[in-house]
């Protein structure tokens, strides 16, 4: 709340000035945000890599528990290593066995045919080895020689049958490709001992020759089984108690050491060029959008240096606090970002508070390794606090805001605890952090908004309500020392409030300004007719010019009293504006009478108030209400026609005199103000029943009877 600039001073996009201002503010804000998000600003941090040697002991500053990535991965790999290689069948095992048995039988038949030719005399015995070498080259010459004189029945029923039985048994089981040699050796060893050693060797060699793999190693199946084993491993939770030694001097840094240090916030984040570039892009984008929003939608903040400075400083100081607490499990959720949103909403307006909430939410996600949880937590809490404080006119609204904020914080953290399937302890910690956050936010907002508002020249609705209290020191003095002026101020306040409501101005500001607009009359009460109570009028003995100076002095005296009693500068600003530069027509007319009506002998400007003209709609309403109330009070007949005529005359006179040129009022607004004045005055000066002289009003009669 402040006296706004005129439309000409705040017109957007005209000339280079606004663009230069936007460019300078945007660059400075972007650089500040980039520095905060990129630089480590936490004391006591160290920089380590795995394999480094610690130069000193490092102890834990607090107790924490966290899921250790390195320990969990180590257990997962250990579980995966216990999984044996997985094999898949080349073909159905029975099909492979039958194929190999058929090949075995075919080879046996080839040998049997050679032996049969020998027995039938078609092949000389001496040529048998040579023939066998031709048809069965896989067998050795020793085996060819053994078969040269072997009876056919012994070959088929003993040697070949023994080899077939062993082959059948071997191929009925699992034969893996890398175990093929072992299975063939086992086949040779499994030939029955009923045969002679050389016959066993022949049968074993022939059977081993037919052994092939029926299963092959599968990398996909093996990796799937190992991943399943990894998934069954529970996350490893590591606890560190306060003052526990995390790293000892001379100790080689291991992954678990780094994890503990990071969780405790004792490590310096390593900034890669890509990270710095990414932070710069985000900072530039945030700064550009924020500057654009304030420029286009919040000109009352953008074009007032102190308001803009307040907004930027609040944002940057909160960002520093968030950066210090970033990536610390619970501290991230304790930082009272909602206090900044509350202050922006109270001291500036709701739209500024909303912009602050969104900006802080973006920064929370950026500073916490791109995590979604802190961002949602900050945004939800800021919006909840904002919606609960907007429109509040009592300090107890902060209690409501604190409760709403606490419930919102707890709900957000509980939702993420459930989504991450964490334990009850994590839920309890989240509830505690959310409650502490709400308490800190409300306490900081309540304890600082008045101080910060005074420091930056911004007045809040709570200060206005306090000033409007009739028991306030200055209003109490006004009542006791100048009762007529006090009554006049209250009446003007009623008129101003009604008119401000009608045109959408600030009714509370208009009413409070009306209460204090004539406090300067306390320096010389009897110089003003409303305080003379029928006594001698001192102006009857003074010249018109001296009387005008006395009357005009209540502006200067009022400003002195306002500074003496610490009135906000916004209220003080109404004191010289409520008369503007209008002419004290009564004393100007008296001066003309003193010189016989010769206007050339009277300086009209000497009878003007010092001004300035009203610079806001509220100030214009106060000027009109002040003139209307005093004029209507002087009417003998206060019916609607008389009141309406007087209101029209006073307002039109101010308009014609140019007193409303800087107040940003439309003709429609002026018509609405007139109607509001008329309706309010009719209510204030309503007619009453005239009691006959012999009739005692009921209340008086009761008092007399008592």
* Boundary residue ending a domain (458, 475, 493): 458
Confidence check: pLDDT of 9 > 50: no
Average pLDDT of the residues in 253-257: 85
Tokens 């610690």, residue?
Answer: 54
Which CATH number covers residue 673?
1.10.3210
Average pLDDT of the residues in 431-459: 87
Look up the pTM and report it. Answer: 0.58
Strand, helix or coil for residue 215: strand
Give the residue from 103, 91, 111, 217 showing the smallest Cα distance to 168.
103
Helices (H), 190-272: 197-209, 219-231, 255-263
Does 430 lie in the same domain as 281?
yes
* Boundary residue ending a domain (427, 458, 489): 458
Does 15 lie in the same domain as 99?
no
Q: How confident is the model at residue 10 (pLDDT cuts 50, 70, 90)?
A: very low
Average pLDDT of the residues in 123-142: 88
Does 193 lie in the same domain as 275?
no
Tell me how far apart the alpha carbons of residues 588 and 196 are, in angstroms, rounded to a whole number: 151
The CA dihedral of 327, 328, 333, 335, to the nearest 10 degrees, is -90
pLDDT at 692: 58
Percent of the chain with pLDDT over 70: 91
Give the residue from 369, 360, 290 showing the smallest Cα distance to 326.
369
Examine residue 636 and state whether it is found in any structural domain, yes or no.
yes
| Residues paired with 245 in a beta bridge | 59
The DSSP H or E segment spanning 15 is none
Does 299 lie in the same domain as 189?
no
Q: Containing domain of residue 134, as a range?
A: 95-207
pLDDT tens-digit series, residues 450-461 = 788 878 878 877
Confidence check: pLDDT of 275 > 90: no
pLDDT tens-digit series, residues 469-504 = 888 899 999 889 999 889 999 999 999 999 999 999
Confidence check: pLDDT of 56 > 80: no
Examine residue 334 and state whether it is found in any structural domain, yes or no.
yes
**Can you state the angle between helices 544-564 and 585-594, rounded to 10 degrees?**
150
Q: How confident is the model at residue 586 (pLDDT cuts 50, 70, 90)?
A: confident
| C-alpha torsion sign, points 510, 513, 514, 517 | negative
Does 517 lie in the same domain as 494?
yes
Examine residue 561 and state whether it is found in any structural domain, yes or no.
no
Confidence check: pLDDT of 8 > 60: no
* Boundary residue ending a domain (401, 425, 458): 458
Does 277 lie in the same domain as 153?
no
Backbone angles phi, psi at 643, to 5 degrees: -65, -45
pLDDT at 677: 93
Tell me how far apart the alpha carbons of residues 62 and 397 are, in angstroms, rounded to a whole number: 36
Tell me how far apart the alpha carbons of residues 156 and 104 are, in angstroms, rounded to a whole number: 12
Strand, helix or coil for residue 280: helix
590-594 long-range contacts (CB < 8 A, ≥24 apart) are: 590/544, 590/547, 591/543, 591/544, 591/545, 591/548, 594/543, 594/544
Tell me how far apart the alpha carbons of residues 432 and 96 are, in angstroms, rounded to a whole number: 68
Tell me how far apart the alpha carbons of residues 368 and 136 are, in angstroms, rounded to a whole number: 76
Confidence check: pLDDT of 63 > 50: yes
pLDDT at 696: 46
Does 415 lie in the same domain as 523?
no
pLDDT at 73: 87
Strand, helix or coil for residue 58: strand
CA distance readout (Å), 205 to 164, 174, 180, 200? 11, 20, 14, 8
Examine residue 244 and state whether it is found in any structural domain, yes or no.
no
Tell me how far apart the alpha carbons of residues 127 and 103 are, in angstroms, rounded to a whole number: 25
CA distance readout (Å), 686 to 424, 678, 682? 68, 12, 6
Examine residue 114 and state whether it is found in any structural domain, yes or no.
yes
The mean of the pLDDT values for the chain is 85
Question: SS3 sequence, 95-159?
Answer: HHHHHHHHHHHHHHHHHHHHHHHHHHCCCCHHHHHHHHHHHCCCCCHHHHHHHHCCCHHHHHHHH
Q: How confident is the model at residue 1 (pLDDT cuts 50, 70, 90)?
A: very low
Tokens of 521: 């009359």
Average pLDDT of the residues in 435-444: 92
Cis peptide before 612 (omega within 30 of 0): yes
Beta carbons of 414 and 431 less than 8 angstroms apart:
yes
The DSSP H or E segment spanning 66 is strand 64-67
Confidence check: pLDDT of 385 > 80: yes
- Find the range with the poorest average confidence among 474-488, 576-590, 679-693: 679-693
Tokens 């023994």, residue?
Answer: 162
Give the residue from 10, 30, 14, 20 showing the smallest Cα distance to 289.
30
Does 324 lie in the same domain as 452?
yes
pLDDT at 418: 84
- Find the range with the poorest average confidence among 318-327, 494-503, 614-623: 318-327
Residue 466: Cβ-neighbour burial (10 angstroms; 0-12, 13-18, 19+):
middle
Q: Quote the number of domains for the chain.
A: 3
Examine residue 243 and state whether it is found in any structural domain, yes or no.
no
Percent of the chain with pLDDT over 90: 32
* Greatest distance between any 2 Cα atoms in the chain: 174
Average pLDDT of the residues in 339-361: 92
Does 418 lie in the same domain as 382?
yes
- Find the range with the poorest average confidence among 277-286, 395-404, 421-430, 623-632: 421-430
Backbone angles phi, psi at 88, to 5 degrees: -125, 145
CA distance readout (Å), 43 to 46, 324, 570, 626? 9, 9, 43, 61
pLDDT at 293: 94
Strand, helix or coil for residue 360: helix
| Residues paired with 65 in a beta bridge | 239
Does 194 lie in the same domain as 278?
no
Give the residue from 581, 580, 668, 674 showing the smallest Cα distance to 623.
580
Does 372 lie in the same domain as 279?
yes
pLDDT at 3: 36
Does 475 lie in the same domain as 346?
no
Examine residue 78 and state whether it is found in any structural domain, yes or no.
no
The radius of gyration computed from the CA coordinates of the chain, to the nearest angstrom, equals: 49
Examine residue 180 and state whether it is found in any structural domain, yes or no.
yes
Give the residue from 305, 390, 398, 316 showing the smallest Cα distance to 351.
390
Query: Buried (b) or exposed (e) across 437-453, using 16+ Cβ within 10 A?
Result: bbebbbebbbeebbebb
Give the residue from 304, 316, 408 showing the smallest Cα distance to 356.
316
Backbone angles phi, psi at 238, to 5 degrees: -110, 135
Distance separating the N- and C-terminal Cα atoms of the chain? 52
Q: Which residue has the higher pLDDT, 43 or 189?
A: 189
């Amino acid at each position: 709340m402040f006296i706004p600039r005129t439309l000409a001073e705040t017109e957007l996009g005209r000339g280079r000035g606004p663009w230069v201002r936007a460019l300078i503010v945007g660059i400075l804000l972007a650089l500040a945000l980039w520095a905060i998000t990129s630089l480590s600003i936490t004391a006591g941090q160290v920089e380590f890599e795995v394999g480094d040697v610690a130069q000193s002991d490092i102890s834990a500053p607090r107790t924490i528990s966290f899921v250790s990535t390195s320990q969990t991965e180590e257990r997962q790999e250990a579980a995966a290593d216990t999984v044996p290689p997985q094999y898949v069948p080349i073909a159905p095992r029975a099909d492979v066995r039958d194929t190999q048995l058929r090949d075995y039988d075919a080879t046996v038949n080839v040998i049997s045919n050679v032996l049969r030719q020998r027995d039938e005399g078609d092949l000389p015995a001496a040529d048998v080895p040579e023939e066998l070498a031709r048809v069965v080259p896989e067998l050795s010459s020793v085996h060819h020689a053994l078969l040269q004189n072997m009876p056919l029945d012994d070959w088929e029923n003993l040697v070949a049958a023994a080899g077939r039985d062993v082959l059948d048994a071997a191929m009925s089981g699992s034969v893996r490709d890398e175990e093929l040699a072992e299975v063939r050796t086992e086949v040779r060893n499994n030939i029955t001992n009923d045969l002679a050693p050389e016959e066993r060797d022949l049968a074993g060699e022939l059977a081993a020759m037919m052994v092939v793999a029926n299963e092959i190693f599968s990398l996909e199946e093996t990796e799937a089984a190992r991943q399943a084993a990894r998934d069954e491993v529970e996350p490893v939770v590591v606890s560190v108690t306060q003052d526990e030694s995390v790293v000892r001097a001379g100790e080689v840094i291991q992954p678990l050491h780094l994890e503990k240090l990071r969780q405790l916030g004792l490590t310096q984040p390593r900034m890669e060029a890509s990270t710095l570039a990414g932070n710069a892009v985000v900072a530039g984008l945030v700064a550009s959008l924020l500057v654009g929003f304030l420029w286009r939608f919040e000109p009352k903040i953008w074009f007032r240096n102190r308001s803009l400075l307040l907004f930027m400083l609040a944002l940057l100081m909160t960002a520093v606090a968030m950066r210090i607490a970033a990536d610390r499990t619970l501290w991230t959720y304790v930082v009272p970002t909602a206090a900044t949103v509350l202050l922006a909403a109270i001291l500036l307006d709701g739209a500024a508070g909303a912009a602050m909430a969104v900006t802080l939410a973006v920064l929370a996600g950026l500073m916490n390794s791109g995590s979604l949880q802190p961002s949602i937590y900050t945004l939800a809490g800021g919006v909840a606090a904002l919606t609960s404080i907007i429109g509040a006119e009592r300090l107890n609204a902060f209690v409501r805001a604190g409760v709403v904020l606490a419930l919102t914080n707890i709900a957000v953290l509980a939702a993420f605890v459930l989504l991450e399937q964490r334990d009850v302890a994590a839920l309890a910690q989240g509830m505690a952090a959310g409650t502490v956050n709400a308490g800190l936010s409300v306490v900081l907002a309540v304890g600082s908004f008045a101080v910060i508002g005074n420091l930056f020249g911004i007045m809040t609705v709570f200060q206005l309500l306090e000033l409007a209290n009739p028991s306030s020191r200055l209003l109490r003095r006004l009542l006791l020392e100048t009762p007529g002026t006090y009554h006049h101020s209250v009446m003007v306040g009623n008129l101003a409030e009604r008119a401000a409501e009608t045109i959408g101005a600030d009714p509370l500001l208009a009413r409070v300004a009306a209460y204090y607009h004539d406090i300067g009359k306390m320096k010389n009460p009897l110089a003003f007719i409303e305080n003379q109570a029928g006594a001698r009028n001192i102006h009857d003995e003074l010249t018109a010019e001296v009387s005008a100076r006395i009357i005009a002095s209540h502006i200067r005296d009022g400003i002195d009293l306002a500074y003496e009693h610490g009135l906000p500068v916004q209220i003080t600003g109404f004191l010289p504006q409520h008369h503007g530069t209008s002419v004290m027509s009564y004393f100007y007319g008296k001066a003309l009478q003193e010189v016989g009506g010769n206007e050339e002998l009277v300086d009209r400007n000497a009878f003007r108030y010092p001004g300035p003209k009203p610079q806001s709609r509220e100030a214009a309403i106060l000027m009109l209400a002040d003139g209307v109330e005093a004029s209507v009070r002087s009417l003998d007949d206060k019916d609607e026609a008389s009141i309406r005529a007087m209101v029209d005359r006073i307002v039109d006179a101010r308009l014609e005199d140019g007193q409303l040129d800087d107040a940003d009022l439309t003709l429609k607004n002026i018509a609405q103000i007139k109607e509001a004045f008329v309706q309010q005055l009719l209510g204030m000066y309503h007619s009453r029943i005239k009691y006959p002289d012999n009739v005692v009003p009921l209340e008086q009669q009761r008092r007399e009877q008592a």
